[in-house]
Amino acid sequence: MKYVDEFRDKEIALGLAKAIRAEVDLARPYRFMEFCGGHTHTVSRYGLEDMLPNNVRMIHGPGCPVCVLPAGRIDMAIHLAMRPEVILCVYGDLMRVPGSQGASLLKAKARGADVRMVYSTIDAIRIAEENPAREVVFFAIGFETTTPPTAIMIRLAEKKHLSNFSVFCNHVLTPPAMQNILESSDIRNIGGVEIDGFIGPAHVSVIIGTTPYEFIAEEFGKPIVITGFEPLDMMQAILMLVRQVNEHRHEVENQYRRAVIRDGNLRAKEEVSTVFELRDRFEWRGLGRVPYGGLRLKPAYTKYDAELRFGMRELCVADDPACECGAILRGIKKPVDCKLFGTVCTPVTPMGSCMVSSEGACAAHWTYGRFRDHQQRPVS
C-alpha cells in the first residue's frame, strides 16, 4: 500500500538501528515515552525494542482514548443506554470497556439496551434521521483526532433541525495530559517515571500542529519528536531524540512532515473551537482529574449535550484494586508487572481498559510481546 509499505522496509530499519547504536552514549539511559497508543502498537508489533540498545527504553504512555476513559463514564453511558427511548451510538472499541462490577455496553446490549456500533459520526446522524421517535445519543470519545468529526456532526444536526439527537461528550486533550504526567501531585502516591523525551502524537498533530507541544519542550526541558505510526517513522524519531539528548537540546521536531504542518488543520481547529470549550477538569483513568484535560459543548450548543438533556449524574468509580492500569498508563509499570495480566485479564476477558483497545499497552503486549518475555525468562 502506498505511503505504508515503503515505511516498513526491513533493510532501512536495520540501518537505522545501526545508526542509533552508533550514536547512543552507553554511559547513560535514554527513556522515551511514546504518548500515543498507536505508537505503542507499532513498538510491540514490529519488535522495535529488540532493535534498540539496552540503555534505550521505550515507556508506554497514556495515549489511548479508550484506555484513559474512567469506569464512571462507562457506567454513565450504560445507565443512559438502558433508557427505553435511547439509541446509543458508539465506536466499536467502547463496547467491551469495563465499567464497575464487570459491566460493559456489550452486556447492556445483551440485556436489551439499544446500543449500536458506528464507524463514523455520519452513521449516527443517519440513525437519528431514520428514528425520529427515539432519542439518538452519540458516545463521543477521542483525542483531538476524533473531535473535529464530532463538531461537524453537531453542526450538521443543527442544519438538519434534528431535535432527537445529542452527544455524550468525552473528548480529551493531549498537551494537558503530557503536562500532568510530568508534574502531577499524584506522583507522590503512585510513583513517578523518569522521561528523557517524548515520541509526539501523529494524527493528533495532524489536527493541532506542532505548536501546542512547544511549552512542554521549553518549560520541562523535554525533547519531543512528532512521528508517524510506521516502524521506520519511529526508528527515525528515536534517532532524532537520541541526538537531541546528546546535544542537550529540547525542541519540538517534526518527523511526520508528509502529514503534519506547524499550525495543523486550520479548518478542523475552527470547527472544534466553534462547538467546544474547555472543561475546568476532566477525569482520566490513571491520571485523575486533569486540569483543562477535556472538552464540553459551548453554551450555543448545549441543547445537544446529552448530560444536560438526560440529567446524567457524574459517577466516580474506583478501579479494581488489583488492576494496574493506572500505573501502566503513566509508564510506571509494565503490563507484565500486573498480576492480572494474562491470567484473568486477556483481550477476551479484559479487566482493565489497557487490555481492551488494540492500542492499549496490555493488549499490544499480549498480542505481540508476551512470547518475547517467555524467551527471555532465565532457564533454571
- Contacts with another protein by CB under 8 A lie at 1-4, 6-7, 11-16, 18-19, 22, 36-38, 41, 63-66, 91, 93, 119-123, 141-143, 145-146, 148-149, 152, 201-204, 206-207, 229, 232-233, 236, 239, 255, 257-260, 265, 267-268, 271, 357, 359
Interatomic CA distance for residues 219 and 221, integer angstroms: 6
Task: Give the cell for residue 360.
Answer: 492499549
> Min. distance of Cβ 349 from another protein in angstroms?
21
Pairing of strands 114-118, 86-91: parallel
Q: Pairing state of beta strands 295-297 and 276-278?
A: antiparallel
Q: What is the rounded distance in angstroms from the CA atom of residue 101 to the CA atom of residue 279?
A: 28
Please provide the DSSP assignment of 93-117 as one string: GGGG---GGG--HHHHHHTT-EEEE
Q: For another protein, which is the closer residue by CB, 149 or 192? A: 149
Residue 294 beta carbon to another protein: minimum distance, rounded to whole angstroms: 15
The least CB distance from residue 38 to another protein, in Å, is 5
**Residue 37 or 335: which CB sits closer to another protein?**
37
Closest C-alpha among 26, 46, 100 to residue 285? 100
Comparing CB distances to another protein, the nearer of 79 and 207 is 207
Residues 6+ apart with CB under 8 A from 94: 66, 69, 74, 77, 105, 139, 141
Give CA separation, 326 vs 103, 123, 201, 240, in Å: 19, 33, 20, 29
Nine cell digits for residue 163: 431535535
| Min separation Cβ 208 and another protein, Å | 11
- CB-wise, 19 or 106, nearer to another protein? 19
Q: For residue 252, which of 236, 268, 242, 241 has the smallest C-alpha distance? A: 241
Q: What is the distance between the alpha carbons of residues 74 and 80, in angstroms, rounded to a whole number? A: 10
Q: How far is the CB of 3 from another protein (least distance, A)?
A: 4
Whether 197 and 241 have beta carbons less than 8 Å apart is answered as yes
Three cell numbers, residue 239: 534517532
Q: How far is the CB of 279 from another protein (least distance, A)?
A: 19
Least separation in angstroms between residue 64's CB and another protein is 7
Nearer to another protein, 90 or 345 (CB): 90
Q: How far is the CB of 152 from another protein (least distance, A)?
A: 5
Which residue, 42 or 310, has its beta carbon nearer to another protein?
Answer: 42
Question: Which residue's CB is nearer to another protein, number 19 or number 195?
Answer: 19
Q: Closer CB to another protein, residue 3 or residue 215?
A: 3
DSSP E strand stretches across 86-217: 86-91, 114-118, 135-142, 165-171, 197-200
Least separation, in Å, of the C-beta of 176 and another protein?
A: 17
Report which DSSP code applies to 228.
-
**What angle in degrees, to the nearest 10, is found between the helix axes of 37-45 and 231-246?**
100
Contacts of 43 (CB under 8 A, 6+ apart): 34, 49, 58, 60, 234, 364
Residue nearer to another protein on the CB measure, 260 or 351: 260
